Amino acid sequence: MMRRRKDKIMSIKILQAVILAGGIGERLRPFTDTMPKPMVPVNGRPFLEYLIELLKKNGIEEIVLLLGYKHEKITEHFGDGSTFGVRIKYSIGAVEDETGTRIRNAKELLQDKFLLLYCDNYWPLRLERLYQFHKKHGTLGTVTVYTNTHKITRNNISVNADGLVEIYDKSRMTSNLNGVDVGFFIFGKEVLNYMPESNFSFETEIIPKLIERRELSGYLTDERYYSIGSPDRLPITSEYLNDRKVIFLDRDGTINKRPQRADYVKNWSEFKFLSNSLKALKYLHEQKYEVYIISNQPGIARGVMSKDDLDDINIRFMDEVENAGGHINGIYQCLHNWDEGCKCRKPMGGMFYDAAFEHNIDLSKASFIGDDERDGIAGNAAGVRTLVIKPDSDLFAAVCTLLRTESNHLLQ
């Protein structure tokens, strides 16, 4: 068993990404009849451009592309990477080379630590969080694992309570699997020591060896991944990657005044819009923002209001917003009590993930305004740009502040 010193790992930063991009992409035909999979257009741009932007945003300086099928289409478009703000190097092999062979053949280009990903999966990478997890576990490799909360596919991996991968099953037939391999691995270059000289699959040959030696940790995430692996996946991936303006808002204390001795409104007679909150919602609509409400509403669990009461409040609330020139795209509410251990109640981030799943929202590009410490924790947990204001503050002023911050962020 190979073990590395944690103090050595702590001193290394991930600056290089390696992308497996050499396969034929048979499931993506007819697109791949004339182009390699990473060049398939999404919203008029090659999908690979989105991955490179994501990597650059996370501090990656150098990208190694492992190519094969129609490689010249990629090299001609991306060149040395300078146009895209990164350095790009290429390792070009035969079309029939498998994933492990492509990695092994690039050994002279690999840094001591690198991020490894597939060319057809997009996940909203937060490299610092992923790397902190990797350092904490001190394993040779870490793989990102989607918890598959919304059952978008069958699970193929099992991560135990200690964060170690116990099972990887490409056939997806094993019971008690608890996630889906997204890719977005972190590896030390020592992984090359496990590689045979034959043409081999990285997933089939290397991952099981790492699991056996307890050298593969699994970073669990509730945020789903998107893919161009087959034509039926392209529409939702296009929607997800399209430029959209999205904002989440807490309700009680942010949009309307909280009743005395309660943190939620129990009926419409208690609902009082705060000054300028309708103005703020109208302004957001004029600025083409999608607006989603994220609200803890435990009254039903506590037995002090009915589902009909809550539905009546929501209908009247949305009508008032519409009449004032605003628009609410969706309302997400946690109806559980404090002690029920749910994943949706703030300070948990479950409502954000539900909204992101149903509307294909990239949370890393969205914003959130709330008025409570729990709001701040939940927003940060979900990776949303978060502004916490004082209860009953001027929402319009807060919105203007946040939008200026967003504009400055986009200009940087």
Q: Give one DSSP letter per residue of 54-72, joined into a string.
A: HHHHTT--EEEEEE-TTHH
pTM over 0.85: yes
Burial grade of 10 (CB within 10 A; 0-12, 13-18, 19 or more): exposed
Cis geometry, peptide bond prior to residue 30 (ω within 30 degrees of 0) = yes
Q: Kindly list the distances between the CA atom of residue 39 and the CA atoms of 64, 235, 332, 401, 411, in Å, as whole numbers in the listed order.
A: 16, 16, 37, 39, 27
Domain spanning 6-241 has what CATH number? Answer: 3.90.550.10
Residues of the chain falling short of pLDDT 70: 1-12, 261-262, 406-412
Q: Where are the domains of the chain?
A: 6-241, 245-411
Write down the H helix ranges in 138-259.
Answer: 202-212, 234-241
pLDDT of residue 3: 39
Q: Which residues are annotated as catalytic?
A: 250, 252
Q: What are phi and psi of 89, to 5 degrees?
A: -120, 155
Question: If you search the block for the tokens 């607006």, which residue do you land on?
Answer: 291
3-state secondary structure of 119: coil
Query: What's residue 22's pLDDT?
Result: 86
pLDDT of residue 269: 87
What's the fold here for domain 245-411? Rossmann fold (3.40.50)
Residue 273 DSSP one-character state: B
